[in-house]
Structure 1
Amino acid sequence: MRTPPASEHATGAAAALVYLAVLAAFINMYLPQAILPVLGREFGVSPSTASLSVSVMILGIAVSSLVMGPLSDRIGRKPLLVGCALALTGPSLVCALAPSWPVLLAGRLVQGLFIPGLTAVGVAYIAEEFPEGRVGRLLGGYVAATVLGGLLSRVLAGLIAEAAGWRWAFVLGAANALAVGGALTRLRPSRRFVPSSALRGAYAGMLAHLRSPRLVGGFAVGFSLFFAFMAVFTYLPFYVEAPPFGFSPGEVGLVYLVYAAGVVSSPLAGALAARVGPRGVMVLGLGTALVAGGFTLLPSAPLLIAALLALCFGNFAAQSTATAFVATQAEGERAGASALYLFAYYVGGSLGAFVPGLAFARSGWGGVLLLSTAALLAGMSAAALLCRADEPVSGTQPSP
């Protein structure tokens, strides 16, 4: 039986609620990143140790992605979207009240376990609930929501830490998650959802995606681009806090306004992929980020901001294209495919948040950029060699 089309209003409302869920996830995800030097001084830890407040959460996301995707294929999308948003409130408050570094890290890890219930499940909801010809653009909006959430998280954390103390930044994250969880109760259940017969079947379907070279290529692109991105933006606060820049915590937070470039590039990437194919957009986006990274070595604040804008523009273009590529190339068990993509993506991010810290301690910002460049080259190779499609990804084709 054919599912009747939803009204434009209902479609827009459902997409907006998913975007709110993603916004809440990313606001909570990156709260510490702009204030890592502040946390380092508060708890007396080194830059690489301070970065664990980002990497342990991302590691929790990576592990949980393997559970949330198949679980939502079994029980549905809405229950997890609502439940995970509300559950995120608890560990956010633990972080706000943390009396020691291990307690804060534990709270961050638990936060990470709930994030895929908003991100991976949100992608699956969009991919199955909306007409195929609109999925690419809607996923472009999804990535734009991740950009906005990441931007607000870092900017507000820096400003709040400078004005009232870093603990209030985590209080903001808890309040946001609670409000979004309440709003998600109004989300309509997915009309096209067909539950897996059992979790075992859902996992078998998820692992079957590893037999597709195109999907494996998409997973590799996600790993590489997020490793490189986290390398740059995790250690950026330490770089710009020191001479010749000498930025304050609030000014460091404002630097993350460069994320706004992703709000522009993500939707544009979907339209461009419909014309030239997703592989070309991924290679172009990663290449743009690679070149832009080199310009951050110049000791000029305006040039630094311009380079970071270009880096964000290229990275988010590649990210939105890779997200749509995986979601639309998957045949069945789409939440499982999104979960594998996010697992690779967040493992890359977790390593990118920590490993470059060792290079930063030995070689400074140049060491961070060297590892970032290597990751971007690997991602470009994966896109060029594996992400081949006979035709543009259906989710990125223009709406009729």
Structure 2
Amino acid sequence: MPDLLAKEATENQSGGEQRLIWALCLASIVVYINLYAVQGMLPLIAEHFNVSGAKATLILSVTSFSLAFSLLIYAVISDRVGRLAPIMVSLWMLVASNLLLIFARDFDALLLVRLLQGVLLAAVPAIAMAYFKEQLPAGFLLKAAGIYIMANSLGGIGGRLMGGLLSQYFTWEQAMMVNFSVTLIGISIVTYLLPRREIKCAVTQYSTSVINKIKHDIGGFIYHLTDPQMRLVYAIGGLAFMMMVNQFSFIQLYLMADPYNFSRFAATLIFLCYLSGTLTSYLSAKWVVKFGAQRLFKGALVVMLLGTLLTLMDNLLCITIGFLLTASGFFLTHSCCNSFVAIRASTHRAKATSLYLCSYYLGASLGGPYLMIFWHQSEWQGVVIGSVGLLSLLLVAILRLTHHQSKAVEQELNTQT
């Protein structure tokens, strides 16, 4: 009888772990559909709100900006009240906020709603990795992280393609009704799947003093920011995303102009190149163990550089291969950064993850205005020049990280001897 009870308990635990992984991955897909659907709708947004295509790209930048800093707030909240409640509240408020998009009457109003949505979209990415680390066995963590990043890319692809399809065949109001319906169905399933109980991990007892609580929270952020390796990984993720995600915005404008003259939906098919990143994310856990993060960071940089330069060949095949390479290199970088932060953070885990993602999405928000300068000067060739500049900074950050890791190993060897 004890053996049977133990077996049943193990099966229940395993089932709960699987439900958690599926729930957070689906939540991630819904979040990234909501974040990136508008990127596939840039031509419709420009037409409906009477702005230029380049100005329409700001719709992604403002959301990424508010999302970036909201990540820090959710890290504090989730460390105090747990991981489950903030996720559920934010997701259902996201459903409600989609109704506001239907009634946005001008571009400024649209930007304000998207600014609000950035706050709501931040909960899942801010909390998910810390939630996994606390609720899953150590052997599951790398695999869960890889699957989660894969879900991120699937949500990004699905959102952009859905946006392109809606942009081609629907009005703005109709498109937003479809987006609302998809979000409602997805969040309902997430609510059903998420385990109602979470393992309560030991947390620091807070003083009743508000000042001491604030000091504790700030101290958690400072703890990770004073770690030079963490700072460099934050910079690596931010610079890589700053380049990659905004390249996809401007290539749509390029493909819709002469000599390609793609339709709105056809231009969004370039986002299928994200599938190479989906595969890379899935394989990343094995590669991190086999090759180590240092080698993978350098290899991914080379792949992104080759992919970016290949698009200068200015034919559709080279552009497609170039974006396949860039997406693959980026998602390998992103997976390595996520794993690095999750493993290195022994305390204040949600804060460590939120700092990384804050840098990550801040890069996305700054990348649009940055590459827009190059676009106005030389269109796609200018975007490539701006991207090479970002990759140069990325190389410096990777080399500095390698130096710090080598120095840490050397110090450890000296201590042992």
- Fold agreement, TM-score > 0.5: yes
Are positions 1:135 and 2:141 aligned together? yes
1:130 to 1:192, Cα distance in 2 relative to 1, 3 A? farther
Are positions 1:245 and 2:260 aligned together? yes
User: What is the Cα deviation at residue 54 of structure 1?
Assistant: 0.5
TM-score by length of 1: 0.92
Are positions 1:38 and 2:53 aligned together? no
User: What is the Cα deviation at residue 143 of structure 1?
Assistant: 0.8
| Alignment correspondent of 1:91 | 97
SS of the residue 2:64 aligns to: helix
Note the alpha carbon deviations across 1:13-60, whole angstroms, 9 max, x for none.
110001011111100001111221221122222233211110000001
Identity of paired residues, percent? 27
The equivalences for 1:180-199 within 5 A come to: 180-186=186-192, 187-188=194-195, 189-198=197-206, 199=213
Separation in 1 of the partners of 2:386 and 2:112? 28
Are positions 1:376 and 2:382 aligned together? no
Q: Could you say what the CA RMSD is over the residues aligned between the two structures, in angstroms?
A: 2.0
Greater shift in the superposed pair: 217-226 or 380-389: 380-389
User: What is the Cα deviation at residue 65 of structure 1?
Assistant: 0.9
1:191 to 1:377, Cα distance in 2 relative to 1, 3 A? same
| Alignment correspondent of 1:229 | 244
Quick one: which amino acid aligns to residue 131 of structure 1? P
Question: Number of residues paired by the alignment?
Answer: 389
| Alignment correspondent of 1:81 | 87
Quick one: which amino acid aligns to residue 75 of structure 1? V
The equivalences for 1:1-400 within 5 A come to: 7-186=13-192, 187-188=194-195, 189-198=197-206, 199-200=213-214, 201-386=216-401, 389=405
Separation in 1 of the partners of 2:300 and 2:172? 34
User: What is the Cα deviation at residue 135 of structure 1?
Assistant: 1.4
User: What is the Cα deviation at residue 174 of structure 1?
Assistant: 2.5
User: What is the Cα deviation at residue 129 of structure 1?
Assistant: 1.4
Separation in 1 of the partners of 2:219 and 2:179? 35
User: What is the Cα deviation at residue 384 of structure 1?
Assistant: 2.9
| Alignment correspondent of 2:209 | none
User: What is the Cα deviation at residue 219 of structure 1?
Assistant: 0.3
Is the 2:40–2:167 contact (alpha carbons within 8 Å) kept by the matching residues of 1?
no
Bigger-Rg structure (1/2): 2
1:148 to 1:216, Cα distance in 2 relative to 1, 3 A? same
Greater shift in the superposed pair: 177-186 or 150-159: 177-186
Separation in 1 of the partners of 2:36 and 2:257? 22
Is the 1:203–1:336 contact (alpha carbons within 8 Å) kept by the matching residues of 2?
no
Is the 2:164–2:265 contact (alpha carbons within 8 Å) kept by the matching residues of 1?
yes
SS of the residue 1:7 aligns to: helix
Note the alpha carbon deviations across 1:97-152, whole angstroms, 9 max, x for none.
21111111111100100111111111211122112232122111111111000000
User: What is the Cα deviation at residue 93 of structure 1?
Assistant: 2.1
Separation in 1 of the partners of 2:139 and 2:302? 28
Separation in 2 of the partners of 1:23 and 1:37? 23
Separation in 2 of the partners of 1:164 and 1:31? 14
Separation in 2 of the partners of 1:54 and 1:64? 15
Quick one: which amino acid aligns to residue 134 of structure 1? F
Separation in 2 of the partners of 1:192 and 1:385? 37
Separation in 2 of the partners of 1:74 and 1:47? 43
User: What is the Cα deviation at residue 273 of structure 1?
Assistant: 1.0
Quick one: which amino acid aligns to residue 127 of structure 1? K
Quick one: which amino acid aligns to residue 77 of structure 1? R
Separation in 2 of the partners of 1:169 and 1:30? 14
User: What is the Cα deviation at residue 377 of structure 1?
Assistant: 2.4
Note the alpha carbon deviations across 1:185-234, whole angstroms, 9 max, x for none.
34223315334434522332122101111111110111101111123012
Note the alpha carbon deviations across 1:49-86, whole angstroms, 9 max, x for none.
21111000000101101101111111111001111111
Separation in 2 of the partners of 1:331 and 1:203? 17
5+ residue gaps, structure 2: 1-8, 207-212, 410-417
TM-score by length of 2: 0.88
